[in-house]
Amino acid sequence: MTLDLLIELVGWAGAVFVLGAYILVTAGRLSGSSAQFQWMNALGAAAFVVNTAWHRAIPSMVLNIIWSLIGFVALFRLWQKKRPN
């Protein structure tokens, strides 16, 4: 497998995660505040970062860095709420 193909597969996996998360929330199968939704978004956006960086699509890369950070911050906050005091 070439590096180009691997980068494309990572990008497509990111698309599946982000679109899947949106579809599941829209269908009422996931809550927008659930860890599962946040993981799908954060990992999907991180995969897009890899793909867009490879293609030098800087505006998309910056958007997805922010998108991913939002998801990881939400996951950190969910983790903090679950932690015993």
SS (H, E, C) 42-81: HHHHHHHHHHHHHCCCHHHHHHHHHHHHHHHHHHHHHHHH
pLDDT in tens, 29-61: 999 999 999 999 999 999 999 999 999 999 999
Q: What is the mean pLDDT of residues 22-26?
A: 97
Spatial distance between the Cα atoms of 60 and 54, rounded to a whole number of angstroms: 11
| pLDDT above 90 for 73 | yes
Rounded-to-integer distance, Cα 76 and Cα 10, Å:
24
Q: What is the pTM of this model?
A: 0.90
pLDDT bin (cut points 50, 70, 90) of residue 1 is confident
Side chain identity at 81, as an amino acid letter?
Answer: K
